[in-house]
């Protein structure tokens, strides 16, 4: 609980230490101080009431901005509240992390409108106002995207913890249920039969003088029933110690399933507005798993898209791949008639749905399953059509404005800031024609826009970014602009850094990702060398002290030296980005192994306990019950009625002892589990 107040306290103390701490005593200082404390207190509610916190923070910052004197400044005019002004970003992050997408969108829109009005009030509608609006949209949009990603991450971790707890509890219950089932089966198979033998044989022995014919009937009954009981017991002994059947894996989220296959080198993207409802979860999970397995076999390394959505009265699952190794040839030619596709169709038909699998337009393979919404339960089937329509619209918007998409778009815009500024300066200073400026702008966009696909196709993005690095030098070499004016193109080194990080974090063949920083640094350094050579050649040619035949050699040598120097400099940031991406991949793998490995370990331990229990019961049957039960039919065949009764009684006693042991074992296990949970 204390940690919640650390950030608000730090912002409050930092703001008051800078201003209005320097103007203690003035009315404005007192008012701003009170407002800063109010804003900090509102931030303390960001986890429990994030929307309320955002509203109070926005109102408090507006009041503080209105009260603060315009001539107060920290770094530049008008930034007196620079420290506390980030409170609205903190509040927006909390809303995005702890509330749904609709609430986040509403709060984000409100904050953007509020900030746009605040900027217009403070600075006026100057020529810089559009740039300020774009900056606000990018910053606030990225903060909201980070918040949504953080909320989804926290939800996935909580879901993983619940899966582990449920796996442990389910298997504890399963072991106890198995023990009860075995006890019932032992009782049903043997106790009734053995008791009947004892009753019949005892009655025949007591009435032997009055009704001698009962002896023969009792012996015949004992022989037949004893053989049946012995056969049933031997069958139980034979099958009990057999290893348990492998349990079906727990049905998890489609995003988790995609992560599993990403670890195997597949490039998988997920477009799921909401996970399937419980009635569909098992079928959707099984179909998706089989489809991904087929892509792993027949399209290794290809890009795969998983989409689950709701339409008119139906739920739709689509798994597309781009072909990779090439569907429709070789082993893939008969995929439609294989057992995997047949199993997927059976899963869909079991819920009244349909499934189609086959080549798709543009190459690759498509698996499409459609389920009627009736199977999702009353909560979905009974929703009014108007509400369903709005949900479909919101789902469509959500699929296209996902947090990761917004974040990637924000990164592209940030990467564009420096080179775009340099390009505008070049256009202004050199007076470039509209055609030349348009070509330069297109080159800049071609260099940065591929980052939108950095998660799904990181290696291809790195190649595209590396190739388009040469567009700026190419414009200089072809004379579209001067070499000095083309330096703006290399301000986009941020694109190379982002691409290297993406390869390290999500690229297939993790063992080869170390090549990314070396290649990125080499391409950038070589481009710098080429521009330097193009820029210096006219100056060298104009120098009378340098022979004309030595101009080319001098330019090449300068290019080599500059390339080597900048290559050494670029390796450091490229290597840092690669290390950051590699660390993110490693944390993701460790988390997956820890969470899913914990579930698998719980399942394995439960199976082993069940196997040990069956083996123990089988040993008890073999050592005690079977030995006495086998004597019953033998005694009947010898016509020894006393031995029949004695052996049946001994078998019953041994059986009761075994059943009592099962009960005590169950009670002991429950006591041990309770003690373990308390100590934990």
* 212-224 confidence digits (pLDDT tens): 888 888 888 888 8
Out of 73-77, 124-128, 331-335, 640-644, least confident range: 331-335
Q: List the one residue out of 466, 495, 472 whose CA is nearest residue 485.
A: 472
Answer yes or no: is 653 within a domain.
yes
Query: Does 337 score more than 50 pLDDT?
Result: no
% of residues, the chain, pLDDT over 90: 17
Which of 125, 146, 172 is the endpoint of a domain?
Answer: 125
- Say yes or no to pLDDT of 244 above 50: no
Does the residue 154 lie in any domain? no
Measured in Å, how far apart are the chain's first and last C-alpha atoms? 21
> Residues 467, 389: one domain?
no
Whether 429 and 543 map to the same domain: the answer is yes
Distance CA 226, CA 465 (A): 82
Query: Residues 349-406: pLDDT tens digits?
Result: 878 889 998 888 778 889 999 988 654 443 343 444 445 555 555 555 555 456 677 7
Q: What is the DSSP letter of 308?
A: E
The DSSP annotation for 95-137 comes to HHHHS-HHHHHHHHHHHHHHHHHHHHHHH-S-TTHHHHHHHHH
Residue 136 contacts residue 122 (beta carbons within 8 Å): no
**Shared-domain flag, residues 389 and 448:** no
Q: Where are the alpha helices (DSSP H) in 187-253?
A: 192-206, 213-239
Q: Give dist(CA 192, CA 205) in Å, integer.
A: 20
pLDDT band for position 344 (50/70/90)? confident
- Asked if residue 623 is part of any domain, the answer here is yes
- Clarify whether residues 351 and 391 are in a common domain: yes
**In a shared domain, residues 511 and 582:** yes
Token pair belonging to 278? 């419980």
Sheet holding 365-372, edge to edge: 267-272, 303-310, 314-321, 365-372, 354-359
Q: What is the 3-state secondary structure (H, E, C) of 622-669?
A: HHHHHHHHHHHHHHHHCCCHHHHHHHHHHHHHHHHHHHHHHHHHHHHH
Q: What is the CATH classification number for the domain harbouring 340? A: 3.30.565.10
500 membership: H or E segment, kind and range: helix 493-506
pLDDT confidence of residue 333: 38
Question: What is the chain's mean pLDDT, rounded?
Answer: 76
pLDDT band at 1 (very low <50, low <70, confident <90, very high): low
pLDDT tens digit string along 135-152? 898 899 889 988 988 888
Q: Residues 34, 16: contact at Cβ < 8 Å?
A: no
In a domain, 253, yes or no: no
Residue 311's nearest CA partner among 375, 357, 253, 372 is 372
The domain tally of the chain equals 4
- pLDDT computed for residue 91 by the predictor: 95
Are 378 and 470 found together in one domain?
Answer: no
CB 516 within 8 A of CB 273: no
Residue that finishes a domain, picked among 400, 425, 450: 400
Per-residue pLDDT, 33:
87
Q: How far is CA 243 from CA 213, 246, 277, 290, in A?
A: 48, 9, 33, 26
Q: Is the residue at 315 inside a domain?
A: yes
Give dist(CA 408, CA 145) in Å, integer.
Answer: 9
Q: Which of 323-337, 528-542, 649-663 reaches the highest mean pLDDT?
A: 649-663
Residues 561 and 574 grouped into a single domain: yes
Ramachandran bin of 330, using left for φ above 0, alpha for ψ from -120 to 50, beta for the remaining angles: left
- Is 71 found in the same domain as 15? yes
Q: What pLDDT, in 10s, does the model give residues 189-215?
A: 565 677 778 777 887 887 777 888 888
Residues 413 and 373 in one domain: no
CATH number, domain of 218, equals 1.20.120
> Is 60 exceeded by the pLDDT of residue 319?
yes
Domain membership flag for residue 151: no
pLDDT score of 27 more than 80: no
Task: Residue 283: give the domain boundaries.
Answer: 267-400
Q: Compute the distance between CA of residue 680 and CA of residue 678 in angstroms, rounded to an integer.
A: 5
For residue 135, is it within any domain?
Answer: no
Q: Is the pTM of this model over 0.85?
A: no
Task: Identify whether 143 is part of a domain.
Answer: no
Average pLDDT over residues 15-34: 75
Whole-angstrom Cα Rg for the chain:
37
What secondary structure, in 3-state letters, does 140-180 show?
Answer: HHHHHHHHHHHHHHHHHHHHHHHHHHHHHHHHHHHHHHHHH
**How much is the pLDDT for 481?**
82
Q: Check whether residue 234 and residue 362 sit in a common domain.
A: no
Same domain, 494 and 529: yes
3 state DSSP class of 278: helix
Handedness of CA 151, 154, 159, 165 (dihedral sign): negative
Mean pLDDT within 508-536: 85
Boundary of a domain, candidates 377, 400, 423: 400
Task: Compare 520 and 562 and report the one with higher pLDDT.
Answer: 520
Residues 275 and 369 placed together within one structural domain of the fold: yes
């Amino acid at each position: 609980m204390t940690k919640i107040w650390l950030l608000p306290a730090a912002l409050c103390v930092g703001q008051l230490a800078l201003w209005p701490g320097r103007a203690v005593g003035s009315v404005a200082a007192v008012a701003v101080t009170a407002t800063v404390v109010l804003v900090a207190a509102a931030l303390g509610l960001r986890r429990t009431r994030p929307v309320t916190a955002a509203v109070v923070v926005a109102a408090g910052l507006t009041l503080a901005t209105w009260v603060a004197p315009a001539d107060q400044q920290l770094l530049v005019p008008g930034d007196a509240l620079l420290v506390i002004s980030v409170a609205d970003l903190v509040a927006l992050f909390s809303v995005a992390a702890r509330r749904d997408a609709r609430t986040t969108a509403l709060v984000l829109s409100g904050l953007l409108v509020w900030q746009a009005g605040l900027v217009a009030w403070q600075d006026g509608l100057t020529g810089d106002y559009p740039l300020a609006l774009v900056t606000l949209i990018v910053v606030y949009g990225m903060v909201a995207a980070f918040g949504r990603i953080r909320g989804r991450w926290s939800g996935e971790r909580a879901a993983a913890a619940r899966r582990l707890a449920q796996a442990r509890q389910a298997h504890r219950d399963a072991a106890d249920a198995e023990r009860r089932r075995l006890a019932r089966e032992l009782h049903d198979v043997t106790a009734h039969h053995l008791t009947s033998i004892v009753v019949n044989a005892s009655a025949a022995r007591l009435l032997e003088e009055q009704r001698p014919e009962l002896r023969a009937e009792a012996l015949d009954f004992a022989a037949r029933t004893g053989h049946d009981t012995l056969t049933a017991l031997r069958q139980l002994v034979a099958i009990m110690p057999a290893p348990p059947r492998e349990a079906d894996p727990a049905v998890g989220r489609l995003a988790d399933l995609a992560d599993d296959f990403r670890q195997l080198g597949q490039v998988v993207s997920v477009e799921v507005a909401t996970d399937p409802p419980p009635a569909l979860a098992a079928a959707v999970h099984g179909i998706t798993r089989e489809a991904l397995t087929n892509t792993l076999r027949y399209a290794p390394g290809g890009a795969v898209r998983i989409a689950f959505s709701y339409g008119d009265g139906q739920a739709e699952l689509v798994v597309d791949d781009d072909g990779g190794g090439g569907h429709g040839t070789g082993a893939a030619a008969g995929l439609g008639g294989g057992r995997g596709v047949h199993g997927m169709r059976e899963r869909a038909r079991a819920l009244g749905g349909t499934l189609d699998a086959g080549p798709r337009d543009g190459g690759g393979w498509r698996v499409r399953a459609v389920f009627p919404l009736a199977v999702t339960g009353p909560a979905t089937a009974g929703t009014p059509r108007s509400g369903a329509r709005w949900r479909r619209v919101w789902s469509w918007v959500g699929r296209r404005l996902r947090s990761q998409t917004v974040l990637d778009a924000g990164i592209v815009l940030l990467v564009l800031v420096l080179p775009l500024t340099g390009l505008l300066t070049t256009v202004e200073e050199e007076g470039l024609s509209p055609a030349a400026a348009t070509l330069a702008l297109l080159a800049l966009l071609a260099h940065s826009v591929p980052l939108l696909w950095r998660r799904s196709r990181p290696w291809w993005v790195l190649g595209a970014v590396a190739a388009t690095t040469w567009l700026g030098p190419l414009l200089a070499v072809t004379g579209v602009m001067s070499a000095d004016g083309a330096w703006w193109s290399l301000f986009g080194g941020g694109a190379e850094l982002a691409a290297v990080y993406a390869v390290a974090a999500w690229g297939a063949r993790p063992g080869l990702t170390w090549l990314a920083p070396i290649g990125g640094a080499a391409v950038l350094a070589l481009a710098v060398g080429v521009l330097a050579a193009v820029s210096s050649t006219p100056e060298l040619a104009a120098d009378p002290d340098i022979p004309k035949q030595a101009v080319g050699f001098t330019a090449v040598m300068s290019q080599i030296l500059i390339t080597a120097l900048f290559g050494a400099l670029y390796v450091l940031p490229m290597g840092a980005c690669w290390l950051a991406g590699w660390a993110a991949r490693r944390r993701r793998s460790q988390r997956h192994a820890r969470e899913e490995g914990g579930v698998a370990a719980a399942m394995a331990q439960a199976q082993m306990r069940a196997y040990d229990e069956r083996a123990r019961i089988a040993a008890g049957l073999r050592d005690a019950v079977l030995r006495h039960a086998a004597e019953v039919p033998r005694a009947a065949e010898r016509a020894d009625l006393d031995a029949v009764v004695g052996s049946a009684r001994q078998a019953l006693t041994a059986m009761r002892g075994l059943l009592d042991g099962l009960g005590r074992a169950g009670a002991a296990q429950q006591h041990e589990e309770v003690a373990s949970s308390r100590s934990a």
